[in-house]
Amino acid sequence: MAFDPDGLRFDDAGLIPAIAQDASSGAVLMMAWMNAEAVRRTLETGRVTYWSRSRQAFWVKGETSGNLQHLVEMRIDCDADCLLLQVRQDGPACHTGRQSCFYTAIRDGDAVEIMRPA
Amino acid sequence: MAFDPDGLRFDDAGLIPAIAQDASSGAVLMMAWMNAEAVRRTLETGRVTYWSRSRQAFWVKGETSGNLQHLVEMRIDCDADCLLLQVRQDGPACHTGRQSCFYTAIRDGDAVEIMRPA
């Protein structure tokens, strides 16, 4: 069945959450947002392109830093309101220099850093 | 540093997205939403508890189906507006009987089913 980005279920702001996962290691790298046009550009260019809610602009991940996300495969969930992006990540995904944005764990009631910048 | 669920960045509806990942296989299983009390209950009980937006009620994952999600570790991202749950999943995570909700891939412009019900 032909995939139509407009058939996804976007929120009231026209956005859908997109989870980026390292295609080889399986590490969950980050979560950000896309609109229909960002989904389209990601599929067309193979470079993961989000919609920045703070800047209200398209955001080609890594365009400034060089830490691009190359799309390996896009997947959609059962109710079409979330995307899973299998990616090949150049450099660290997090703006803090860490491989993943999820570098803080809750352990015994404390927030603990479990990953250092590369 | 002591973790306070109220310190998370919730959206205007008081919710934060929570990604469930199989702690052993690394498979991303699903994404759902939590409010501060759901985060608290998940940490206290070790059973992943979401907030159902459709039912406007707490949703102990698997309470009806038996397919519980046991929390292995909760992680938060760099800007504290998304959670990553490392879980041990009883049975399939998806209500369709599939291991993961992300069973549809976009390949050559088509939506393709890549996972069958268990």
Check: complex ipTM more than 0.90:
yes
Mean of pLDDT values over B18-30:
98
Class of CATH domain B5-90:
alpha beta
Averaged pLDDT score across all residues of chain B: 97
pTM above 0.95, yes or no: yes
- Block mean pLDDT (10 aa), chain A, length 118: 95 97 98 98 98 97 96 98 98 97 97 96
CB–CB of B3 and A73 under 8 A?
Answer: no
B28 near A CB under 8 A: yes
Q: Is B29 left (phi over 0), alpha (psi -120 to 50) or beta?
A: alpha
Q: What pLDDT, on the 0 to 100 scale, is given for residue A68?
A: 97
- The verdict on a CB contact (< 8 Å) between A75 and B27 is no
Chain A contact present for B19, CB below 8 A: yes
Domain boundary assignment for chain A:
5-90
Residue B64: pLDDT band by 50, 70, 90 thresholds?
very high
pLDDT at B20: 98
In this prediction, residue A1 carries a pLDDT of 85
pLDDT of residue B118: 85
Partner A contacted by B2 (CB < 8 A): yes
Q: How is B61-93 classified by DSSP, letter by letter?
A: TTTTTS--EEEEEEEE-TTSS-EEEEEEESS-S
| Amino acid (1-letter code) at residue A110 | D
pLDDT at position A118, please? 85
What gap in Å lies between CA A89 and CA A20, rounded to an integer?
9
Is the pLDDT at B72 greater than 90? The verdict is yes
| 8 A C-beta contact, residue B61 and residue B50 | yes
Question: Which of A77, A95, A106 is the closest to B102 by Cβ?
Answer: A77
Q: Closest partner residue to B3 among A95, A103, A109, by Cβ? A: A109
Q: Is A45 helix (H, G, I), strand (E, B) or coil?
A: helix
Q: Which of A19, A42, A54 to mutate to test the interface with B (most CBs of B within 10 A)?
A: A19
